[in-house]
Chains A and B, each alone.
Chain A
């Protein structure tokens, strides 16, 4: 008989160590009040309430479905609700092979999203064309839209996708509220011909 090797040395549940709490932003507190910068509060709020727009075109999309399902559960990170309307969403998750014919569609979806918007490129295909180094496939979505975080892998495991989301959260939290009107950002948008 196959020996049972799993879960015989059960770890005691330790809630104080395994539950992650959001850190307080730096500020002054006293009895009954807490004073901090508005941008910290905005960053904290945005970070923990991302609405992702999944743009899943192939195999990496399957991995994303696992990420959303009960086992990995992206909702733990504040992304409970997926939006399927670009107007409502602030994180475009591109997962899968984007063919050259699909590129204008992807760009239009990006344009339809309201600022502030972030882009997560999941998998080798979305990031670089992946194994499809061929005439019909876009060699990386950063040829048409700016990307904030790349997740490598073919496909990346759900942990990888979650790690990408956490990196995005990090960017969101630490981003200056006025970054979008900065010259650097404007220049980046100019490069992609986006007003």
Chain B
């Protein structure tokens, strides 16, 4: 039986309560915003009962203006048999960016969570090896957070007047 987006939404609302979940449907892909403590429960339910066994992507977004929920951790998962996609977003505050790891569920999350930690500083609780993966280990900041300008701050030879900045 192919599960539809509406059905999925109904099931999730029944299970977790409609008041804590927010659903949006920007395209044919169902998106759900949930409290961060629910991330594993929702993923587990979808994994076990609705055959969402493939983690397409896991990343984070920094919204500096969203006070109390500056970092959004986004999971893209799919049910490859029925061609259904699902996106789960959880918000966490930047002061305490702790989110449960999904590595027990998806092995692919190991790499992606390390990358998300590397660039956004999200602390994935329970991750087996949470350290930098792409950037140099000596880096002391999380470069994709918006308070860090893109330019290399160590340069002294660039004259702002010449470079139009």
Assess the B155–A139 pair: CB atoms within 8 A.
yes
Closest to B141 in A: A135
Q: CB of B63 within 8 A of chain A?
A: no
Assess the B136–A134 pair: CB atoms within 8 A.
no
Q: A87-116, CB under 8 A of B: which get 1 and which 0?
A: 000000000000011000000000000000
Assess the B135–A137 pair: CB atoms within 8 A.
no
Q: CB of A174 within 8 A of chain B?
A: no
Main SS of chain B's interface residues?
Answer: loop
Assess the A139–B154 pair: CB atoms within 8 A.
yes
CA distance A136 to B158 in the complex (A): 17
Identify which of residues 129-165 in chain B touch chain A, using a CB-to-CB cut-off of 8 Å. Answer: 134-136, 139, 143, 148, 150-155, 158
CA distance A133 to B159 in the complex (A): 13
CA distance A129 to B151 in the complex (A): 11
Q: Which residue among A100, A101, A133, A135 has the maximum number of chain B CB atoms within 10 Å of its CB?
A: A135
CA distance A101 to B139 in the complex (A): 11
Main SS of chain A's interface residues?
Answer: loop
Which residues of chain A have C-beta atoms less than 8 A from B154's C-beta? 139
Q: How large is the interface on B (under 10, 10 to 19, 20 to 34, 35 or more residues)?
A: 10 to 19
Q: How large is the interface on A (under 10, 10 to 19, 20 to 34, 35 or more residues)?
A: under 10
State whether A100 and B150 are in contact (beta carbons under 8 Å apart), knowing that A133-B158, A135-B143, A136-B143 are contacts in the complex.
no
Task: Select one of A101, A129, A133, A139 contacting B136, CB under 8 A.
Answer: A101
Which residues of chain A have C-beta atoms less than 8 A from B134's C-beta? 101, 136
Least distance between B87 CB and chain A CB atoms (Å) = 28
CA distance A129 to B150 in the complex (A): 13
Which residues of chain A have C-beta atoms less than 8 A from B135's C-beta? 100-101, 135-136
Which residues of chain B have C-beta atoms less than 8 A from A139's C-beta? 152, 154-155
Task: Select one of B139, B152, B153, B158 contacting A137, CB under 8 A.
Answer: B152
A-B contact pairs, 18 of them (CB 8 A): A100-B135, A101-B135, A129-B152, A129-B155, A133-B150, A133-B151, A133-B152, A133-B158, A134-B150, A134-B152, A135-B139, A135-B143, A135-B148, A135-B153, A136-B143, A137-B152, A139-B154, A139-B155
8 more contacts with CB within 8 A, not counting A129-B155, A133-B155, are: A101-B135, A133-B150, A133-B152, A135-B135, A135-B150, A135-B153, A139-B152, A139-B155
